[in-house]
Amino acid sequence: MVADSALTVVLVYPELLGTYGDRGNAVALRRRADARGLDCHLVEAAVRDPLPRTGDVYLVGGGEDAAMLLAWEGLRSGHRLQDAVDAGAACFGVCAGFQLLSREFTGPDGEPHEGLGLLDVRCGRLDGPRAVGEVLADSDHGFLTGFENHQGDAHLGAGTAPLGRLVRGVGNGDGRTEGAVQGRVLASYLHGPVLVRNDGLADRLLELVTGPLAPFRDPAVLRLRQERRAAALSRPGARHPHLRRRSSHRP
């Protein structure tokens, strides 16, 4: 647990993993921590520097194929992210970050790569068009909204639960689930930034390291959530999207 009302949020390799404004997830956590009187520090961990092991929450964002593989090389060195989680930190991965945290992911060359193994998940490739558009899912942290733009899927193992139950969109590619949760490690295919759109999810990440937090209602976020939920429900198509199988094809 966080001591002395101080909190450190580590933004992992933002020069590589910051697609679609994922840096905003760190801003959202700081805003919601500040609202509870927590002194929240943001640390941007560059790929050229050793990843700090003393953070409380680690954010691993999305990135294009080449950037993702560079990040993979850096994160495999020294097992520093794994050590931080083992020591009590929480971790949240988005899109490419989701795949990096998995046991295995399919690279842009169609070949499997060993992930960091923080999630009992194997990520392959969707067969067919990219998953692009608004997503809506139900979760234990309120409904989830976000914007997906990915070619990956996610096959959850016995040790991992879905982050949300799909209502609209593609998500993990099975027509039922979006994202993954395993202990203090959470992941999603959703951008937005997703922690700006989903205050309950942001608070859940904080509470994993702080314990229960006092309620905080942000009217601007509440308006955004309702607007994005309506946008997702207005999308044409069935409640559950067409199922797609794993493929080794590039995006």
The residues that are catalytic are 95, 191
Report the distance separating Cα 124 and Cα 88, nearest Å: 29
Report the distance separating Cα 169 and Cα 93, nearest Å: 19
Eight-class DSSP state of 127: S
**Are β-strands 185-188 and 180-182 bridged in parallel, bridged antiparallel, or unpaired?**
antiparallel
Long-range contacts: 100-104, Cβ < 8 Å, 24+? 100/60, 100/68, 100/71, 100/72, 100/75, 101/60, 101/185, 101/187, 102/154, 102/187, 103/157
